[in-house]
Structure 1
Amino acid sequence: MSAYGGYSKTSYGAQGGDDSGGFFAGGGSQQGSQGGGKSYQDESLRPLTIKQILDAEEPYSGADFKVDGAPITQITFVGQVRSINPQQTNLTIKVDDGTGQIDVKKWIDVDKQSDAEPGFEIDSHIRVWGRLKSFSNKRHVGAHVIRPVTDFNEVNYHMLEATYVHLFYTRGAAGGAHAGGDANGDSMFVDGGDGYNAGALAGQTASKLSGCSNKAKSMYMYLKKSSGDGADGVHLNKLTAELGLGLRDVMEAADELMGQGLIYTTIDEETWAVLEY
């Protein structure tokens, strides 16, 4: 399965500089205005969640961002389109993957009218390739390529790949020694020390949760974190506020988790708690 639509690291590099930089064929080095003449060999393509993007470390202005202590140059992620705002020079698209939301800017070639047409709709899923940018302390992704996701398996595949790479940098290669970093391995989905970490969950729970959507995982881990507060579960309104999800998203996530027998309703039909095993 080719999650990247035919692109591979050996067939593209990055034009440094502004968001309009894109892919180019061939190898060698590419001198750009960003990165001080960064060579092609220094480029990488990192699959990330939006939360990882928002939490990326910026050592100093103009330096490469870092995730899990490793520099990131090109990034790719999958998410759902929440809004499309066409401007004269660019399309600004708000994308949500269940872990957070971020603006994606795709610059328009004035000589190509087709660039002004997004090619996808609100609530559809897209894959984005680009670079993380920061302007006036607000982050966005300057997109090189955006394309619709036609097979929902790609959404699940991307989350698994992002998880694998995250664990590689924080725990080391499979079967190897621990590489340092966050021992919980949980910073890519939700905040705090109770993020989605399959290794910290009971086998039965982890197995059920692994097949759930990302928004369902986020909801479950938030409910689990709140279970020690002695409250009678968490209400729908608080979940939407804390997770940044819409009412429909939370209801869908709740149905998914209840179908797996992971949560249950408590004082009413819109308040849920984790079913402990």
Structure 2
Amino acid sequence: MSYQPYNNFNDNAEGGGFTTYNNNDADGQGSQGKTQQRNTIKPVTIKQINDSKTIVSDGEFVVNGVELNMVSFVGIIRNVNDNTSSLTITIEDGTGSLDVRKWVDEGSDPSENNYPLGQYVYVTGLLKEFNEKKSLQQATINPIEDYNQVTYHYLSAIKVHVEANQQGSHQQGNSLFVSQNAHDHTNNNEPSEKVYRFIHDNTPSMVEGVPIQYIAQSLSLTDNEVVNYCNQLSDVGKIYNGNDDSSYLAV
């Protein structure tokens, strides 16, 4: 798969990009807007898929205020089980794992059904549930050739999650990105504590490290201010460097 980095997270689904989600019907168009929402690919983590529930029978899956229908996620192939007529591919992304079934057409090119273990892939499909087990229909699995796609995907998933909650959706159950007690100390409004909470909240979903520029942009700080606060937090052992000196993870 040829992957081009996306500069705008609002690219439409037809372009293969990561899309954002709006709780309101587009321009008040009612059912048409709702149909467009269902056809929009929501970037998610596997934990979000596994935690999602339907409020009514045969209704939309919902998690943390986000409705899920067509979804996308990134992960690593951990196991492939050949069932002759289909392949069951286990994919894991650090938050959980999911089995994705790919049907094998008789007489198809064997190279089309080659899914090496340990390969990063980008997966899309229609979320369904059978016998209380989540599954994807119409699934597509494409290899990731540029690791930046993984970072872009998680940033997009965070953006969808935050926007949905900012628009008045109520979180249900455990948060996708935040532990239940992650905000126990929200009465502390010191800038360094805000930086720490932001890194803490995003550490589970950004395993390579939360970038300094992303922290600065999200908290309306300068890069230098974030660097100073991170140095203070690092000195007291609350955070540590991610994959490089420009990103951090919380203890």
Scaled to the shorter chain, the TM-score interval is 0.5 to 0.7
- Equivalent pair of 1:104/1:143 in contact (CA under 8 Å): no
Deviation at 1:121, TM superposition (A): 1.6
For residue 71 of structure 2, what is the aligned residue in structure 1?
75
- Residue identity in the other structure for 1:182: Q
Does residue 142 (structure 1) correspond to residue 137 (structure 2)? The answer is yes
For residue 157 of structure 2, what is the aligned residue in structure 1?
162
Deviation at 1:68, TM superposition (A): 3.4
Deviation at 1:170, TM superposition (A): 0.7
| Residue 40 of structure 2, aligned match among 18, 40, 44 | 44
Deviation at 1:182, TM superposition (A): 3.0
For residue 181 of structure 1, what is the aligned residue in structure 2?
170
CA distance in 2, matches of 1:169, 1:139: 22
Structure 1 residues 207 and 153, CA, compared in 2 at 3 Å: closer, same or farther? farther
CA distance in 2, matches of 1:202, 1:186: 22
> What SS class does the counterpart of residue 75 from structure 2 fall into?
strand
Residue by residue, what CA displacement relative to the aligned partner does 1:209-255 show, whole Å, maximum 9, x if unpaired?
Answer: 768973467xxxxxxxxxxxxxxxxxxxxxxxxxxxxxxxxxxxx99
Deviation at 1:133, TM superposition (A): 2.1
Give the number of aligned pairs. Answer: 190
Structure 1 residues 39 and 151, CA, compared in 2 at 3 Å: closer, same or farther? same
Structure 1 residues 191 and 114, CA, compared in 2 at 3 Å: closer, same or farther? farther
CA distance in 1, matches of 2:150, 2:166: 24
- Residue identity in the other structure for 1:202: E
Structure 1 residues 212 and 116, CA, compared in 2 at 3 Å: closer, same or farther? same
Structure 1 residues 85 and 190, CA, compared in 2 at 3 Å: closer, same or farther? farther
- Equivalent pair of 2:177/2:205 in contact (CA under 8 Å): no
> What SS class does the counterpart of residue 54 from structure 2 fall into?
coil
- Residue identity in the other structure for 1:181: H
> What SS class does the counterpart of residue 180 from structure 2 fall into?
coil
Does residue 108 (structure 1) correspond to residue 104 (structure 2)? The answer is yes
Deviation at 1:148, TM superposition (A): 0.5
Task: State the TM-score, normalized to the length of structure 2.
Answer: 0.60
Does residue 122 (structure 1) correspond to residue 117 (structure 2)? The answer is yes
For residue 206 of structure 2, what is the aligned residue in structure 1?
214
For residue 58 of structure 1, what is the aligned residue in structure 2?
54
- Residue identity in the other structure for 1:214: M
> What SS class does the counterpart of residue 202 from structure 1 fall into?
helix
CA distance in 1, matches of 2:110, 2:142: 14
Give the ranges of 4+ consecutive aligned residues of structure 1 lying more than 4 Å apart after TM superposition.
38-42, 206-213, 254-263
Structure 1 residues 208 and 67, CA, compared in 2 at 3 Å: closer, same or farther? closer
- Equivalent pair of 2:43/2:72 in contact (CA under 8 Å): yes
CA distance in 2, matches of 1:129, 1:162: 14
CA distance in 2, matches of 1:166, 1:39: 20
For residue 89 of structure 1, what is the aligned residue in structure 2?
85
Query: Any residues of structure 2 matched to 1:220-259 within 5 Å, and which?
Result: 256=242
- Residue identity in the other structure for 2:149: E
Deviation at 1:115, TM superposition (A): 7.1
Deviation at 1:159, TM superposition (A): 0.4
- Equivalent pair of 1:83/1:94 in contact (CA under 8 Å): yes
> What SS class does the counterpart of residue 53 from structure 2 fall into?
coil
Residue by residue, what CA displacement relative to the aligned partner does 1:163-209 show, whole Å, maximum 9, x if unpaired?
Answer: 0000010113xxxxxx24239x97123653439xxxx9835546767
By relative contact order (CA 8 Å, sep 6+), the higher-ranking structure is 2
Percent of aligned pairs sharing the same letter: 29
CA distance in 1, matches of 2:63, 2:54: 9
- Equivalent pair of 2:81/2:89 in contact (CA under 8 Å): yes
Task: State the TM-score, normalized to the length of structure 1.
Answer: 0.55
- Equivalent pair of 1:205/1:262 in contact (CA under 8 Å): no
Deviation at 1:261, TM superposition (A): 7.8
Residue by residue, what CA displacement relative to the aligned partner does 1:140-170 show, whole Å, maximum 9, x if unpaired?
Answer: 2235311011111111110000000000101
